[in-house]
Amino acid sequence: MFASATRWSFTSGTEKGDEAYQKMKPIWSAQEGFHSMSMYDITEGPNKGQRMTVVRFKDQKSFDTAREKITSDREKIIKSLEEKGVKMEENMRLEEVAGA
């Protein structure tokens, strides 16, 4: 399993992040190899109050192929978010080495 986790900060409420999640989920889920997409509130630590979106694919190759296919849509949504005070803080690429 491969995952991409993105941390977001907000200058105002999180509603704009919710809207973006609802727009992006069907775009990601239509891609081959898609497994799931989740959004989390960060509740402790230095990034408390921010959110993290996690997209999971069967493997990194599937994710990379999907990301390339949706680049235009993804960039438009990110630009729209930035204009509304939502900022992508960091992105982590995670390869699962042990499962539940």
CATH code of the domain containing 19: 3.30.70.100
Q: What are phi and psi of 24, to 5 degrees?
A: -80, -30
- pLDDT, tens only, 32-75: 999 999 999 999 999 998 999 999 999 999 999 999 999 999 99
Residue 100 in domain: no
Residue 86 in domain: yes
- Number of folded domains that form the chain: 1
DSSP 8-state class, residue 14: S
Answer yes or no: pTM beyond 0.85: yes
Find the domain containing 38 and state its range.
Answer: 2-95
Residue 49 in domain: yes
> What is the band of 28 on the pLDDT scale with cuts at 50, 70, 90?
very high
Residue 88 in domain: yes
Residue 7 in domain: yes
